[in-house]
Structures are given as structure tokens and as C-alpha cells.
Amino acid sequence: MLAAQAGMGSCRLEHRASSGIAEQVKQLLATRLQVRADRVAAAGPDTPLLGEGIALDSVEAVALVCAVEEEFGIRIADEDLTADLFRTLGTFAEHVRRVSGAGATGPG
């Protein structure tokens, strides 16, 4: 039971970390990529980044990756640059969280 509760706490921490990252990504979308404010404001974790939703094109998607790499001090591998990465704001933020180690809990 305690192990299950500890696992649930870890999931909540990861979710909070991902949602904080999503907010930072939204800021980058507004300031660096100059995505329309109404689109950014309405964006949630399930909002697509490509096509409908935020409506990034391929050049803007690469610009977002560059902005995130600079902002978080990370490197997103070329092989990770797939349509799945940009499926939603949430999937993108979760990938950034994993790569950056944000919300990671140490051993113990």
C-alpha cells in the first residue's frame, strides 16, 4: 500500500512538473514564436501543436525546439523530432520534462 501511495505521489509531482513546463512552453510560443495570444491562452495539455490548435508549421516547430533547448539548457535528439512529439502541448511538455529531468525524484 505504501509503495502504491509513493508511486501516486511521484505521478502527481511529474504532472505538476509537466504542467509547469507546459506553461513555460506557452510563454515561448507567445514571445519567441509570436503565436496569437488567443490561441496560447486557450491551449491546454490536449491542444495539438501542429495543424488545428496552436497551428505550428514545420519551420515553427523547429523554432520551438530551438527555443526550448535554449530556455531549458537541454538537447532534443534529432530522432525524437517526430509528429508524435508535437501531437499535443502535453506530450511535448512531458518529453521536455523527461529530457531535462525536471520533477525527477532521487533514489530513496
The whole-chain average pLDDT of the chain stands at 84
Q: What is the CATH number of the domain that holds 63?
A: 1.10.1200.10
pTM metric for this prediction: 0.79
Dihedrals phi, psi of 11, to nearest 5 degrees: -65, -40
Query: How many domains, in total, are found in the chain?
Result: 1
| Nearest residue to 86 via CA among 73, 100, 96 | 96
Q: Is residue 105 part of a domain?
A: no
Q: Pick the residue with more confidence: 62 or 106?
A: 62
Q: Pick the residue with more confidence: 14 or 24?
A: 24
Q: Is residue 87 part of a domain?
A: yes
